[in-house]
Structure 1
Amino acid sequence: MTIAVTGVAVALPGTSDPRDLLRPAPQGAEPVDPAARIGKKGLRFKDRATRLGLHLAHAALTDAGLLDAGGTTVPGDRIATVVSSNLGNADTVCRAVETIAKESTEALSPMDTPNASSNIIASETAIRYGLRGPNLTVCNGRSSGLDAVRWAAVLLRAGRADHVLVTGVEPDNEVTRRLVGGPVADGGAALVLSRAATAPARVLLGPVVRTARPDDTVTELARRTPDGRLWLGPGEHPVPPGARRLDLGGWGELSGALGVVQCAAAAGWFAEGGTPVAYALAGATGAVLLAPERTR
């Protein structure tokens, strides 16, 4: 079964276009303002990661032709939601723990405590946009974003959904900076993976590979589809001789958003006429990404 990426959205400081990911990150750009895209209604009391996730979901679903002013254009129970975020609500959790330690549980805000749920981004996205298919969050380190893509493909191949919204997002704040030791990307990307196209394909998803070591993943990706020249992955990962590497680290620590942003960058690469095969590598998980005109 061919799985197509029919919707792509990017929300990072200074850009909303996947093609911009191919160039150096702009310095000093203003943070993304979700309210400017989706309005202020419903954003009050939501944490930064959830607001960014709602922004990305709206843009990706619209790009895929699944959302208009009247709501979803296909039955909501056929749209699943998978979110990847390692740091998403860490600030809320730390704030709650500090409040309990200094005062008591009675001092917790009833408007803030729902944000402590590990699935808050995915659940709020589903509620706001009427997505009633399977709903889950992946949170397992550097490979999390590509693992979310892998699970989306599993849901599609199993017939659990016709479309899966995959969102990778991380917020930049004092807590997340302490956890990673530096600036966080403050944004991310979203994809719509479809088995029944509602819009032209932006990317075709090839094999998704998970091994014990990144070196083995590189070898396996090259074996499965040997004619790719673009490798989307951090600098510490080896790539074959002669290949071009695109390291997205200039946008800040992407963490759980990394793999999803890599897939969005591949869409930008193909849109600019780049070679028809690209690889994404995050942790020990890798994916083959194919230009829309390419068949497997």
Structure 2
Amino acid sequence: MKRIVVTGTGLAVPGLDRPLDLFGDGSPAVGFDPATALKGKEMRGKDRASRLGLCAADAALRDAGLLADDGTYREPGEATAVVVSSNLGTLETACEFTDTVARETVTGLSPLGLPQTSSNVVAGWIAIRYGLRGPNLTVCNGATSGLDAVHWACHLILAGRCRRAVVVGVEPPPRPSESSSDRNRATSPPPWSWRAPPTRPDEAPARTRPSPPTPAAPTPRAPSPSPSPRSPVPVELRLATGHLDLTDRFGDCSGALGVLQCAAGADHVRTHGTGAVLAVAGGTAADDAAAALLLTTEHRN
């Protein structure tokens, strides 16, 4: 089976320096600081989600050795795709524009800010910054969005649409501020061997319903739930020695979750030199799908 190997990881989570820090407390003194990292010439005129995505993409491309000293992309841009997972990345901008229209009609809108209402704005800015002219798309389909983005990137490569793909998962907070920046997160994928695409059930796990009391019984029995044909899939990252639920520490994560899982898991495998990680997302009562992705290491002589 042909394997797709991604060779760089990047992270833009406040207080953390690399994906392996997702397992611990990190070091705020040396970790990502949005108060400084999200400012500067390259960040002007961009929404917060795009700035986070650019930081993560830059870290991943540098880790993969694909950037020159001056920050330019070394490889042919037309052979590199960009796939972004973000369910709520442009929500804040869209709400601001809606409020402006309600107060001032369309005459109060700024044409410079209008592109930021597009769900594909993060992928667009990353492509512009590095001259990536391959396929460009955004996945925003709920809990499985992050793993789906990695899935699509793999298939773009397998289909010959591109030779490389940059995958980014990003979700800023609804009301961004430096004081709440610990909820910001963005990441790009790490090196791993692709075994199979994520599992996508056609329907959510069946919900159990209580059985009605038996009419013939003298005393009606208490309702008892019928067994579910499938157990819900927990939103967590399973390791060879245990499991880690990233949502316990970072909250829902939404579209960034699956990419964060891949980054953390691959950094774990790369650091320890062996093992495998199963990343799973979705499958809860509130979701209508589930996804899973197996990350392994490959040794070559």
Q: Scaled by the length of structure 2, what TM-score is found?
A: 0.78
Q: Does 1:53 align with 2:53?
A: yes
Unaligned runs of 5+ in 2: 207-232, 283-289
Q: Which has the higher contact order (CA 8 A, sep 6+)?
A: 1
Could you tell me which residue of structure 2 aligns to residue 172 of structure 1? 173
Cα contact 2:144–2:255 (8 A) shared by 1: yes
TM-score, length of structure 1 as denominator length: 0.79
Q: 1:204 aligns with which of 181, 185, 193?
A: 193
Give the Å deviation of 1:70.
Answer: 5.8
Contact 1:9 1:60 in 2 (8 A): yes
> CA 1:214/1:10 → structure 2, altered by over 3 Å: closer, same or farther?
farther
2:269 aligned with 1:280: no
If each structure's strand is expressed as a fraction of its own residues, which one has the higher value? 1
Computing the radius of gyration over CA atoms, which structure comes out larger, 1 or 2?
A: 2
Q: Report the alpha carbon displacement of residue 127 of structure 1 after superposing the two structures with TM.
A: 0.6
Match of 1:227 in 2: none
Q: Is the 8 A contact 1:85 1:139 kept in 2?
A: yes
Structure 2 match to 1:76: 77
Structure 1, unaligned runs of 5 or more: 177-181, 193-201, 217-231
Runs of 4 or more off by more than 4 Å in structure 1?
24-31, 213-216
Supply the AA of the counterpart residue of 1:18. P
The alignment yields a C-alpha RMSD, in angstroms, of 3.2
C-alpha contact (below 8 Å) 1:156/1:164 kept by paired residues:
yes
**Structure 2 residue aligned with 1:289:** 295
Partner of 2:111: 110
1:189-236: CA deviation from partner (whole Å, max 9, x where unpaired)? 1126xxxxxxxxx322221222326879xxxxxxxxxxxxxxx9626x
Equivalent residue for 1:246, pick from 244, 247, 256: 244
- Alignment partner, residue 261 of structure 1: 260
State the secondary structure of the residue aligned to 1:285: strand
Percent identity of the aligned residues? 42
Q: Measure how far apart 1:287 and its partner are.
A: 0.4
Letter in 2 for 1:59: A
What SS does the aligned partner of 1:2 have? coil
Letter in 1 for 2:166: L
Q: Tell me the SS of whatever aligns to 1:67.
A: coil
Shift of 1:32: 3.4
Shift in Å at residue 272 of structure 1? 3.3
- Aligned to 2:165, what secondary structure does the other structure show? strand
2:152 alignment counterpart? 151
Measure, in 2, the Cα distance between the counterparts of 1:153 and 1:174. 33
What does the per-residue CA deviation read over 1:115-159, in whole Å, with 9 as the maximum and x for residues that have no partner? 011110001110111000000000001100000000001100001
